Every structure is written in structure tokens, then in C-alpha cells.
Amino acid sequence: MLNKRLARWGMVFLMLAILSGCQPDTGFYVREATQEPEQAALQNSAALTIEKEGAGSGPAQKSVLPPPIEDEHPAIQSITPAPTEEAPGQITPLEITSQFSPTAPVEAVETAAPALPVEAWKDWPVMPAISEEMRQVYLRGLAEGRSPNAFSILGDCQSQPEVFLGVFDSDPDVSIALPASLRQTVEQFRGSFDRYSPTVKDGTTEGALLWVEWNDNKEKKCQPGETPLDCELRVHQPSIVFVHIGTHYESRQMGYMRKIIERILQHGAVPVIVTKADNRELDEKINPNLVAMAVEYHLPVWNFWKTVQHLPNRGMEKDSRMYLSKEGLVVHRMSALEALDAVWRGLQ
């Protein structure tokens, strides 16, 4: 199973010579004492009026239930050879061969919550497990007009389309190189990979997502007084939401996280909790807190932390406690697509 998965990734890696620049944010960070207070942020969130969308108001809906599909491998000759001259920040086939060893932990998709305790989060499967509670949330959301073809991301600079999932919309050749099951997932969610979202921005924290002033509203689709989170839920109508924040940690952030999870569930979408690769807090306290909250709410967990432990510097840039390396970004992208695939199929 492991060798099969790595062979599959190896062919796709040849198509993923994508710039991996993710610059530190020099602007606002939600701070415990010096920036937006928790009470004001939550009052802003509670004061919003969310429009009820009819079932026919979202994107055109495709088939929700994926038919059985054979997981074949694409022909090698269908992959465009990588350029011989390496652009800055790109990954060459030579690097891929030397850096990606068959020690990467990859497990089969589970269909029920892991039996391991929160304290053993490092041993949790990489791929998310789906609870019956989340299937019911998903079905309710579809009945209320959420789109089975839309997912959203709550994240910072390393979740921006150009360094994360945007390539699956912008480059058809990359999708061609995928296994058949993942190609089907890309088609199911086409249009959600490479798009602007007010919930993806340099320096985004849990508190920022609940703060009206953090909403840059670049596409002018948000309503006055709307937080980034509420605007994203109303405009995009996702049925799945990746909660991919936590690096910029402050003591109040888990309280903000609870509000975010409950708002997503109220919307009728399934939150997917993502563990983080870094240990910026130095005592690894954030990931178990995230997993504990996932257990409390019966949420799926994409254990991204586990996917990069075999990489040099555990997938982080050299001398960095925060930013993923080039290799880490590639694993980040491919593991995310597999997690989306696992969640979508598990919800049916």
C-alpha cells in the first residue's frame, strides 16, 4: 500500500514544479492584549445577518455520490518532462527522487473515528475519518442549499492558491497525471481550488476570521459588517471546510476555534481539522488541542503533521519554525487533495 501510494505521488510530483514563495506577513496579527479583544470579535460575528440561500441558488450541482472507480495509474508518457533549467523555488525530478523516500507514513482511508486517544495524536492516521454525526451535518447542509461541489479553506499564506491547491484548477496537465479517483475529485470540486477567499490571507489567525476589519473583501461580494468567515460561507456555500490555522498561536485562540467550528456546523458544512507541521509554540501543545476539539465535535482530522516527518527538517524551511520547505509544500498539496477525496467519499 505504501509503495503504491508513493509511486502514485512520484508521477504527480513531476508536474508540480510550482513556485513556493510564502512571505512573512508584516501587517496585522490578532494579539491577546494589543489587538482586537475577544468580546468585540465575537460580538461582530454574532451581529451578522446571514441570508438564507435556497437550494437552487448555489453553483450548478453535479452528482454527489461518486460511482465505483478503478484506481489505475496514468501512463508515464502523459507527463510533460520537467524543464532542464530550474526556476527559483521549483522542485526538479532529481530533488524528488532524492528527497522523497519510502518512509512517508500513509494509511488507508478509515470510515470511523480512530480508536486512539488524543494524547496519541502523532499515531493517528493521516487521512480523515468520517463520523455518522458529520454525515448528518452534510446531508442537512445539502438540503439547505450547500453545494456538493464547493469546499473552503480557512488558512494563512501557506494556504493561498499559488502555493497550495490552485494548480488543480489552473493546470490541466497536473490533473491528467493524477490517479483516476483523484481526477474525479478534482472534477467534483473544480472552481474551488484556485479562487480568492476572504478566509485565506497572510497572518490569518482564528480570531482574525471572526473580526470584521480583517475582511479585505477584494471581490466586493461581502456585506457590510460581515466577518471573513461568514462572508465565505454565504458566498461560496461550501459543504466541506478545511480549518487550517493555528500557527500564530495566542492563549485565546482555542476559544475562537470553538466559535469557528460551531459557525461552520450551523451553516451545514463539515469542518476538517488540520494538524500543523511546525512547532512554533515549542511545546507541541496546539496539535493535541486541535485533535481534542475534533474529538469533542466528532470532526474529521487530516493529520498533516505526520506526512512531513520523514522530510529533511521535518518539512520546514532550514532555520525556520514556521514555513514549509519546497518538499513540504508538495506533500502539503498532494496530501490535501487525498484528504479532500477521503472526506468527500466518506460523507456519501
| pLDDT, mean over the chain | 75
Contact at 8 Å (CB) between 271 and 264? yes
pLDDT of 103 above 90: no
pLDDT of 102 above 90: no
pLDDT of 13 above 60: no
Cα→Cα distances 210→151, 159, 227, Å: 19, 18, 5
Classified as helix, coil or strand, 271 is strand
DSSP-derived letter for residue 136 is: H
pLDDT of 38 above 50: no
* pLDDT at position 312: 93
CA–CA dist 219, 196 (Å, integer): 8
**Rg of the chain over all Cα atoms, to the nearest angstrom:** 19
Provide the residue ranges of all domains of the chain, joining segments of one domain with +.
2-20+93-108+116-347
Q: Considering all CA atoms of the chain, what is the largest pairwise distance in Å, rounded to the nearest integer?
A: 58
* pLDDT at position 14: 36
CA–CA dist 54, 137 (Å, integer): 17
* pLDDT at position 15: 39
Classified as helix, coil or strand, 200 is strand
287-299: per-residue pLDDT in tens? 999 999 999 999 9
More confident: 65 or 29? 65
pLDDT of 156 above 60: yes
pLDDT of 87 above 70: no
DSSP-derived letter for residue 219 is: T
Q: What percent of the chain has pLDDT over 70?
A: 66
* pLDDT at position 250: 58
Pick the CATH number of 2-20+93-108+116-347 from 3.30.1360.70, 3.30.70.20, 3.40.50.2000, 3.40.50.1110: 3.40.50.1110
Which segment, 12-16, 237-241, 314-318, 320-324, is predicted with the most confidence on average? 237-241
* pLDDT at position 113: 58
pTM over 0.75: no
* pLDDT at position 320: 77
112-144: per-residue pLDDT in tens? 556 789 999 999 999 999 999 999 999 999 999
* pLDDT at position 8: 52
* pLDDT at position 112: 55
* pLDDT at position 60: 39
* pLDDT at position 1: 52
Residue range 241-254: average pLDDT? 77
Residue range 155-163: average pLDDT? 94
* pLDDT at position 12: 45
* pLDDT at position 99: 31
DSSP string, 7-55: HHHHHHHTT-------PPP-S----TTTS--HHHHHHHHHT--PPPPPT
* pLDDT at position 72: 35
pLDDT bracket for residue 322 (50, 70, 90): confident
